[in-house]
Structures are given as structure tokens and as C-alpha cells.
Chains A and B, each alone.
Chain A
Amino acid sequence: GQQLNQSPQSMFIQEGEDVSMNCTSSSIFNTWLWYKQDPGEGPVLLIALYKAGELTSNGRLTAQFGITRKDSFLNISASIPSDVGIYFCAGHRAGTALIFGKGTTLSVSS
């Protein structure tokens, strides 16, 4: 089935550092979504992107919908301990279900 390549798989950073993760696909998507999942919880939507080239911020988080519609990135600035968790990208196009990336596990040391 369709796969999203999400990288990196995991990151270990110091508090205050910036973080960047991305997802790529061999197919075009109409929507890119970024979720965060805490242990034992369901995913929570962070940012939704609907147009190629769109750059959207949510507090310290910024995400962009790639111009080719085959990729997206998520940046977190000035990381804090509560940013710890698993971040998933998800892509969608008409007539299909959401396709999730494999996740990026973020660890932040203070």
C-alpha cells in the first residue's frame, strides 16, 4: 500500500533546541496533517495544511505543504520537555483514507 516516508525515526535533543522532521511520498496529496501522540493516548492534531506551498504556524510549531505536494515538514522551535512524544504526518487525497507516516519519536533533555 501507499507509504509515507517520515524521518528521522527518532531524535534526542536538548531543551531549547529547534527540531525539524519531514515526510515524503511518491504520490501527490491534497492535504497534509501533523499529529502528536503521547504514550497511551490518541493522536492530537497539531497543524493541517490544505494548499501546496502553504506555511502554517501554531505557536512554536511551523509546518509547510511542499510545492510538489509530495512532501511536508514540521519544525518545532525552542523545544521544551513537554514536546516529548511521537509526531506523525498524515496525507490525504480524494477518495482515500488518511495515510500515516511511521512517526518521529522526540526526546528532550533538560
Chain B
Amino acid sequence: GAVVSQHPSWVICKSGTSVKIECRSLDFQATTMFWYRQFPKQSLMLMATSNEGSKATYEQGVEKDKFLINHASLTLSTLTVTSAHPEDSSFYICSASSSGSYNEQFFGPGTRLTVL
């Protein structure tokens, strides 16, 4: 149980385009979903926390207009990187929690974004 999927697993796009990444909880209802980014050989950095049906809470330094997060259902959250630039290239990982607790997060397999 507690399986989280992400789609796509990797994406290459041109600079200036927008990219949408989906995060789904497959066998449980995710009250809360978290979005992280991870640079090579670095740790995970939380970008935002989203609760189903409400606006996401962004961490300091994360542009909410650039990284649009939607959590419209208990099993799906999306992250859209708008007007992507090469510096947005990174590994984006989502996690989901059924309890809303930071303690109990199940991570997706990640999405590798490369912006040319």
C-alpha cells in the first residue's frame, strides 16, 4: 500500500514553455501533498505544501506564480513550471500524506526536468 506515482518520469522542454507534472496517490486518499526539488548530489528542498481544495503554501523563496500547484482531488496534485528556463532543470519529487502529517509522507519516484 501507500503507492505514489508521478508522470512523466522525465521531460525535456524548450526554454519558455510550461511543463505540468502530475502526482497521484494510487491506493489512499492524500489530504496533503508536498512538492520538493532536488539538485544533483543535494538534499530534498521543500517547495510547497498543498491541501486538497485549498491554495498551496509556498516555502520562502519559491515563486508561486512560476510553480503553480493544484490539488483538486484527494488523489491528484499537479505542479506546473511556467515559462521554464534552464535553471529550473532539476529532479522534482512529490510526496503524499493521508493524515496531513509531515511525519507520514510517501514519496513518488520523481520527475527529471531538463530545460534546453
Interface residues of A (CB under 8 A from B): 31, 33, 35, 40-45, 48, 50, 88, 92, 96-98, 100-103, 105
Give the contact stretch, choosing among B13-21, B64-72, B77-85, B99-107.
B99-107
Q: Indicate whether A100 sits within 8 Å of B112 (C-beta atoms), given known contacts A31-B103, A42-B95, A44-B107.
A: no
Of A40, A42, A98, A101, the contact of B102 (CB 8 Å cutoff): A98
Closest 7 CB pairs of A and B: A42-B107, A100-B43, A102-B43, A97-B46, A42-B110, A42-B93, A100-B44
Q: Could you tell me the distance in whole angstroms from the C-beta of B15 to the nearest C-beta in chain A?
A: 23
A33-B109 CB under 8 A given contacts A101-B43, A102-B42, A102-B43? no
Instruction: Decide yes or no: A48 and B103 within 8 Å by CB, A88-B43, A102-B42 being known contacts.
Output: yes
- Known contacts A33-B103, A92-B103; is-contact A40 B46 (Cβ 8 Å): no
A40 and B43 contact, CB distance less than 8 A:
no
> Mind listing 23 A-B residue pairs with CB under 8 Å?
A31-B103, A35-B107, A40-B91, A40-B109, A40-B112, A41-B110, A42-B107, A43-B93, A45-B106, A50-B103, A88-B43, A92-B102, A92-B103, A96-B102, A97-B46, A97-B49, A98-B46, A98-B102, A100-B45, A101-B43, A102-B42, A103-B41, A103-B43
Question: Which residues of B sit under 8 angstroms from A100, Cβ to Cβ?
Answer: 43-45
By a CB distance below 8 angstroms, the chain B residues around A41 are 109-110
Q: Is the CB of A40 within 8 A of B42?
A: no
